[in-house]
Amino acid sequence: MQPGCPQQAVGKRTALLAAIAVGVLAAAVRLPGAFTNSLWQDEVVSANIVLEPTPIAMLRHVARTESSPPAWYGIAWSGHELGISVEALRLLSVLAGALLAGLVVLWGRRLMPLWGSVLAGVLVALGSQLVTHGSELRAYELYALVSLLFAMALDRFAASPTLATAAILTGSVVVGTLTHYFFLLFAVAGLAWLALSPHLRPVRARASVAIAVGLLPFLVWMPVLKHQYERERFSWIGSFDLRTVLAANWQLFAGSWPHTEALKNLLALVFLGAVVAGAVVLARHGGRARLCGLCAIVPFAAGASIWLAGAPLFAVRNLLGVGAFAALALAALVSRLPRIPALGGGFAVLALAAVGVVDAAEHGPPAFDRAAQELVAQGWRPNDPIVLYGEFFEFRGPLRWYLHEPRLTLAERTRQRCARLFVVSDRRKPSERFLEGRLASASDMAGKILVARIERPPPFADPVWRGGRMLVLLSARTGCVHAVPERSVLASLPNARL
């Protein structure tokens, strides 16, 4: 130690350097996806919102198509108005992920040894879902960051209840509730911490008021939430599934699963048990450690309970805010073990993080941009029908975006044969069918997507077309298919297979 440099200052400097290093690591693993992945369906929706000409139009678009509040879209829209391209706006998520991982190290240092908080930070930096959503044009990584900032702000206010810390706490609630609805469960965890901690009695009322004031803008937005819920914007989550709940924490970090079903279930239970045990270890220590433990468990348990009660709310990506606290709980558990078991536990966590970042890299979105480029390269024109083998909505939005044709929609066949058409397939059997049958006049693989041009194709009654769906422009002039009006697409989809 250098003369005149106190041990505490050296400790803070070391922690800051460690936090910066972990933040850089988080950014490094997110940047490749941000620059190379094509926009997938939900990102295309975000892109269209960002392109709205006015803030009012942007808010109306969010209310019409999304299942989220508007804060992130407002930030992204403002960035685009300042000249940032739509694709470059993904850097907002990269930045949020880097800050999240670095802040886990800094805040975790107050809960456990520095090496333990670094372990938690690395797990956040490399976790599968955190990396995936940390390179997207979506709100999830910002929501995860604000969830941690809320806990830090509440902790800070409890230690120093001033007007400035109250304003920061209120601001975190405003941003959090207007970024993701699941954030409300973190506010519940914060209020539970205030109620369960006797030493916080002097600041309990003031902290509760600061949180309540932060909820006021959300109350203004609540009629829109009601509209979104009634329009079944959350229905994609589906009905309650206990296996999804038990596996959620594992999926958050590792992403992939072993092939053996029994081992898969065992890993899910062991991992969830480790997170809960770590949260209990934190909660027993009181203070900010208890707050961290509650934030690891309350939103998870409350979200699962609400789903069980019938409201489709629980999904792995909606749990992203739990990620930082679950990582800290795991690190707290490991750091309290004897040296040899702690070393083994630390290596296990690092191995889990490595699996997570590999999984995120291997399971990126399909190469929709390359598929669209290949269609154009093979001679696709706006009047040409496309036979799609894949999930309709997963493909339609990105193909619209990259073909610059927002009118591309579902089509139904007529009795007339097409002079030519194009095939887009992410399915193995249809791809082999066209390649081996030599029906394709031209074909190529765009990543894992087959793109093929078919001249003088067989009639649609031929078994070769089984399982496909047609895409065509609303205004296309072709006699072999006709476009389905947009308002009728959902009703027509079940019967639109060839």
Q: Is residue 290 a part of any domain in this protein?
A: yes
List, in order, residues 6 or more apart from 207 with CB less than 8 Å away.
154, 157, 158, 161, 169, 190, 194, 200
pLDDT level of residue 8 (50, 70, 90 thresholds): low
Q: How far is CA 49 from the centre of its chain?
A: 17
Cα 487–490–495 angle (5° rounding)?
A: 120
**Both 236 and 149 in a single domain?**
yes
* Residue after which a domain boundary falls, among 342, 362, 382: 362
pTM of the entire structure? 0.92
Q: Is residue 156 a part of any domain in this protein?
A: yes
Maximum average pLDDT range among 194-208, 257-271, 347-361: 194-208
Q: Is residue 198 a part of any domain in this protein?
A: yes
Q: How far apart are CA 356 and CA 250, in angstroms?
A: 10
Q: Is residue 2 a part of any domain in this protein?
A: no
Amino acid at 33: G
Q: Is residue 125 a part of any domain in this protein?
A: yes
**Both 225 and 296 in a single domain?**
yes
Residue 490: the pLDDT is: 84
**Both 349 and 458 in a single domain?**
no
Residue 358: the pLDDT is: 80
Q: Which domain holds residue 376?
A: 368-495
- Mean pLDDT for 254-274 is 82
**Both 307 and 430 in a single domain?**
no
**Both 193 and 306 in a single domain?**
yes
Q: Is the dihedral of CA 36, 41, 46, 49 positive or negative?
A: positive
SS (H, E, C) 477-488: CCCCEEECCHHH
41 pLDDT higher than 70: yes
List the 408-413 sheet strands across, edge first. Answer: 442-446, 449-455, 420-425, 386-389, 469-473, 408-413, 481-483
**Both 347 and 469 in a single domain?**
no
Residue 5: the pLDDT is: 43
Q: How far apart are CA 68 and CA 149, in angstroms?
A: 20
280 pLDDT higher than 90: yes
Share of the chain above pLDDT 90, in %: 63
SS3 294: helix
- CB of 339 within 8 A of CB of 306? no
**Both 85 and 230 in a single domain?**
yes
| pLDDT tens track for 292-318 | 999 999 999 999 999 999 888 888 899
* Residue after which a domain boundary falls, among 329, 362, 395: 362
**Both 476 and 382 in a single domain?**
yes
Residue 481: the pLDDT is: 87
71 pLDDT higher than 80: yes
Strands (E), 200-335: none
| pLDDT tens track for 369-385 | 999 999 999 999 988 99
| pLDDT tens track for 146-159 | 999 999 999 999 99
3 pLDDT higher than 50: no
**Both 329 and 389 in a single domain?**
no
Residue 461: the pLDDT is: 85
Q: Is residue 257 a part of any domain in this protein?
A: yes
**Both 191 and 322 in a single domain?**
yes
| pLDDT tens track for 86-132 | 999 999 999 999 999 999 999 999 999 999 999 999 999 999 999 99
DSSP per residue, 60-79: HHHHHH-SS-SHHHHHHHHH
| pLDDT tens track for 45-64 | 999 999 999 999 999 999 99
- Mean pLDDT for 191-217 is 95
Residue 9: the pLDDT is: 59
**Both 383 and 358 in a single domain?**
no
| pLDDT tens track for 349-370 | 788 778 777 877 777 889 999 9
Residue 117: the pLDDT is: 94
**Both 150 and 199 in a single domain?**
yes
* Residue after which a domain boundary falls, among 328, 344, 362: 362
Domains of the chain: total: 2
Q: Is residue 459 a part of any domain in this protein?
A: yes
| pLDDT tens track for 164-202 | 999 999 999 999 999 999 999 999 999 999 999 999 999
Share of the chain above pLDDT 70, in %: 97
Q: Which of 135-144, 184-193, 443-452 has the lowest mean pLDDT?
A: 443-452
List, in order, residues 6 or more apart from 465 with CB less than 8 Å away.
387, 458, 498
Residue 437: the pLDDT is: 65
Q: Is residue 329 a part of any domain in this protein?
A: yes
Q: Which of 116-125, 253-262, 325-334 has the lowest mean pLDDT?
A: 253-262
| pLDDT tens track for 399-444 | 999 999 989 999 998 888 888 999 999 988 888 877 776 777 888 8
349 or 271: which leads in pLDDT: 271
279 pLDDT higher than 70: yes
4 pLDDT higher than 50: no
Q: Which of 71-85, 93-107, 174-188, 465-479 has the lowest mean pLDDT?
A: 465-479
- Mean pLDDT for 445-453 is 90
